Structure 1
Amino acid sequence: MALTITPIPAFNDNYIWALHQADGQTVVVDPGDAEPVKAWLSANGATLAGILITHHHPDHTGGLDALLAMTSPVPVYGPAGGHIRQINHTVKEGDQLSILDHDFEVLETPGHTLDHIVYFHPGASDTSAPDDGDTADLGNPPWLFCGDTLFAGGCGRIFEGNPAMMYGSLQKLASLPAATQVYCAHEYTLANLAFAASADPDNGDLKQRQVDERNKRDKQHPTLPSTICLEQRTNPFLRCHSPSLQATVEQQVSHKLTSGLELFTALRRLKDQA
């Protein structure tokens, strides 16, 4: 049965992603707040069938207790370690899951947190991106739930890992099929692209993306999903091979950068200070 994916807004800028079938069976990703999920399930006659967790931060896990109290036991998938007590199915790198009859692969992406994981559905690599709007009919494209590792135009802060971990995690995601739909957990896109433009001012694709994404927000549409291809062209944290990006960042930090990791580290520090 085909899946549809819908963003449920939460807090100021979170998205709780709802994967749902025509029969109402629904899996949600990173429910930091139970109330908007409950309201969405009720409004759509849907039934909670499972939960996917990417990492332990409260804005991704805070709604677990209330959601689990309202339903019969459902699977809660998430990282091992025992620090998210509601998880009843721990998963790790390379694990294969079947969620609503769709196959997922688990990838470990430490950096933002040490426990961070993402969920990748391989789909059909030649499927084009969906139209702009609040809801996308997925059909069978590749797609990625990446929590706070990869953002549209940016990446997560490094709270528990180190730059080498985060750089490696982003390289792993950048190697996924170009058409992969990128479903991250926050609407940070316009701010991320403003920073990206300061670091990569000669990038014509980035300039056009700023216009396109601003138009979406003006219509109160999400800027997500992105695609891996779009991120490769416009996200500076995936462009640490770019000579022009390197030259600009070297001017800003006033020293030579000799590797992709050094460029990434300098970029992340500049973004943290922005």
Structure 2
Amino acid sequence: MITARGGGLEELLGEYYAALAAGDPGRLPLAADVTLTENGQRIAIGTGLWATAAGVAGSRVVTVSEEAYGPGGTAGSVAGWGMITEGGADGANALLGVRLKTTGKAISEIETLVVRRAPFGRTTFPERLLEPSAAMAQILKLADRGTREDLIQAANGYLDGVSRDDADLIPAADDCVRIENGLQTVLNPDAEGFPETFVSSGGLGGLGLGVRAQIRTLAFRYIEDIRDRRFVAADTERGLVLVCCFFDHPGKVRDAGFDSPIAAPNSMLIWELFKVAGGLIRRIEAIGAAFPYGMRAGW
């Protein structure tokens, strides 16, 4: 039986990564009808990344779990991400997000997001992705905690504000930090971690600005919609809520009235983890990769 967090949900995530590196799904308590998706595609256990993974980092960058109770015992969901290698001894690094849903006795759902390209034109992934995020793991004071519904409302406010170019919808603290695929994309005036070619080309506008200030520059008009939002795990003790969703980018549309930094249409599958304390978003950590325009997640 899969036990509760502190006895097992978060440990189960580590067991998944270890089994993946060994290429041995038989190590895991899998339901007979378990569903696996890799980058939005339903595939068979043992195929895809299961056949190419060669090693995993010793710890995850972030982990969020949410318990539920049912006739099978303690059930729930756990998700997180960390670095892996694939393709043999000389293989490349990749960033892997994993979401597991359990019935209490077995894993019934496995969703994975594999980011194989280093962010923003880099040739390597940032070293930050090899270390756990201490800020996300911190337990909140009772007075700063909200309900699951409060966490979802704050996250939706952010996503609505970004997609509608309306900073007033975003309940973010002025010092809120956002990390995307390991790089800090707000409050980073020196563009630390970004290659010079990306910065000189215009890249992501306003790296030195805060979350809401960036939106006020209309730098994200190229985002057409943020859709198919799934709030897959929430931890009120730590103020965490994870949303899996798509950012739609129509590309350089004729007569759009602005120049999109994304030339061709795509949809980015994004896993975005929010830390909310005192009703405000204090930190955002996200991973994502680009896929064909209009893609669905397979769930």
Q: TM-score, normalised by structure 1?
A: 0.28
Q: Higher relative contact order by CA 8 Å / sep ≥ 6: 1 or 2?
A: 2
Query: Structure 1 or 2: larger strand share?
Result: 2
The alignment's TM-score, normalised by the length of structure 2, stands at 0.26
